Amino acid sequence: MIEPDFSDRDGLIWFDGTLIPWRDARIHVLSHALHYASSVFEGQRAYNGHIFKLAEHSQRLIESARALGFDLPWSRETIDEACVQTMQSNGLNDCYIRPVAWRGAEQIGIAAQRTKPHLAIACWKWGAYFGEDKINSGLRLDIASYRRPAPYTAPVKAKAAGLYMICTVSKHQADDRGYDDALMLDWRGQVAEATGANIFFLRQGVVHTPLPDCFLDGITRRTVIAILRDQGVEVVERAIWPEELAQFEQCFVTGSAAEVTPVREIGPWSFEVGAFVQDVRKAYADLVRHGPGR
């Protein structure tokens, strides 16, 4: 099923403080963000009318913009309220919410001091990111040709649009080769993440996950680590080299869009889509829908 064009939908989008018709949410072709990637965004899900970890997402949006050198004139509380207002105004309870902030068209060129920051928030119904069938069958990941950049080459802690350019290229290459997504290594050749999700591995009852020193330390990633440790599962954050993948028994990815999705194959390596991963997925689903502090 092909989704409708995202520019041509019914609904409302919060745009610089005002709810406007979806089709009227437009920016100028000379917006700085379009030419120089001066844009940051968030992705978050609402369950039963409650946006999970909303304050953390809004705060990260503010910090991401600051990492790119521009301050948002909206407080974290205002962004929180705008996300809730957008969701409710569209009559949604279970949905995906996308806040995006960018520099406008007041100045063109590398310099952007005179540009005005903008903020828009959209939301829509979105099921399983990789499709419902992958929850049981697991994903097949290619190995991306591009690598996550070193922390001294880019603001790697920001959820910045420009950092996702190589993710799109890698995802398309994986799709063309018959895979669901791609595993990205980092600048050193260590395992980093999928194109839009963090990754975890199981071996002999211990969970291993790459240390996020040059890619996003996802909010879902941190949530899943907390779930596992609360259950008494040992979680080790460390450098993981590709040659270690043959030693792992199970694998899964996490993200606000991906939630918890099992992986059955990465390049030449295979993994069991077993009870452990499915239990993690169920524990996360229970937390986001019914848990304390949602």
Catalytic site includes residue 159: yes
**Distances, alpha carbon 155 to alpha carbons 118, 163, 165, 213, in Å:** 20, 9, 14, 11
In the chain, alpha helices (H): 32-36, 54-67, 76-89, 134-137, 165-176, 219-230, 275-290
- 82: CB partners within 8 A, 6+ apart: 14, 17, 74, 99, 119, 121
The dihedral built from the CA positions of residue 94, 192, 182 and 204, taken in this order, carries a sign that is negative
Calpha distance 90→93 (Å, rounded): 9
Residue 156: φ, ψ to 5° = -70, -15
Interhelix angle 275-290/219-230, rounded to 10 degrees, is 110
Measuring CA to CA, how many Å separate 105 from each of 25, 38, 42? 15, 11, 22
Q: Which of 134, 157, 159, 171 is catalytic?
A: 159
* CA Rg value for the chain: 19
Question: Mind telling me the catalytic residues?
Answer: 159
